Amino acid sequence: MIQIMRVGGVHIESGIVYLAVIDPSDLGLGTPVLVAQPKLTPNPDLIDAEALEDLTGRVRQELDGAGVRAVGLVGTRAFKGLQYKNVYSRVFGMCAVMAACTRLGLKYETLKTEIIGTTVQCPAKALEKIDPGAFQFDRPPVYWKAGLAQAYAAAATMCARAGS
């Protein structure tokens, strides 16, 4: 039996984790799979170690429930003039995603935006402008502009890699 390689894409914007899951499809870039909580926010009221464990648990729950086999995370384009607080919240989210993938035994990759852009035929600097119709959406889903578009682009890249 051929198993469909369901994949996940993650984008972190202002410390918030956006998660998209797709199945490979002949139509467009993939068929979206419903995720219970596509937007995961770290708990600001917990001390950091507990907040990381909590976010990891929630990311894990979504990936586990969606049944993904591989996860791609949109890499950063900012390497200069970084502010610690911005970097910290991003790395915090990345750690949670990486730890969740490791615990579930999933393949994980951080994807360069150029590679994602080439795959989804969208400028690397403006992945948020990807057409929602490429994922069979009639209109942009909730959180599309907030960061979900980039997560879908990353998922499509993982999907293309799995197929090649």
Partner 1 sequence: MTTPAFSASHANDGTNPERTRLLRLQFECLQTLPVGSNPVRVWWDQNLECYRVGKRVDLSSVDGVLPEPATLQKIKHDNVVEVLAAPAVEGLIAPLRAIEIITPYYPRGSVTDAFLRGERFSATESVRIVQAGLRGLGHLHEVHRILHRDIKSPNLLLDDIHMAKVADLGCAGALAADGTVEALDIPTLYSPPELVRTGVLTRASDIYPMGLILLELLRGGFDYEAYPKSVVTDRLLRGMSPLTLEERRRPIWLSRSLRRVLNQALQGQPARRFPTASAMDNALSRARVIDWAETDDHCWEAPYRHHRDRRIRIEAASRRKGGFRLSMHVDRGSGWRRHGVTDVDVDALDSTVTRRFFDQATDIAIVR
Q: Which residues bind partner 1 (CB under 8 A)?
A: 36-37, 40-41, 43, 45-47, 54-55, 57-58, 60-62, 64-67
Task: Name the residue nearer to partner 1 (CB basis): 56 or 119.
Answer: 56
Q: Which is nearer to partner 1, 62 or 156 (CB)?
A: 62
The residue ranges of DSSP E strands in 60-101, in sequence order, are 70-74
* Residue 26, number of CB atoms within 10 A of its CB: 5
Closest CA to 145 of 9, 22, 13: 13
Q: Looking at beta carbons only, is 67 or 133 nearer to partner 1?
A: 67
The least CB distance from residue 23 to partner 1, in Å, is 16
**Helix, strand, coil in percent for the chain, rounding step 5:** 50, 20, 35
Nearest-approach distance from CB 47 to partner 1, in angstroms:
7
- Smallest separation (angstroms) from partner 1 to the CB of 91: 18
Q: Where are the beta strands (DSSP E) in 7-89?
A: 7-13, 16-23, 31-32, 39-40, 70-74
Q: Which is nearer to partner 1, 100 or 120 (CB)?
A: 100
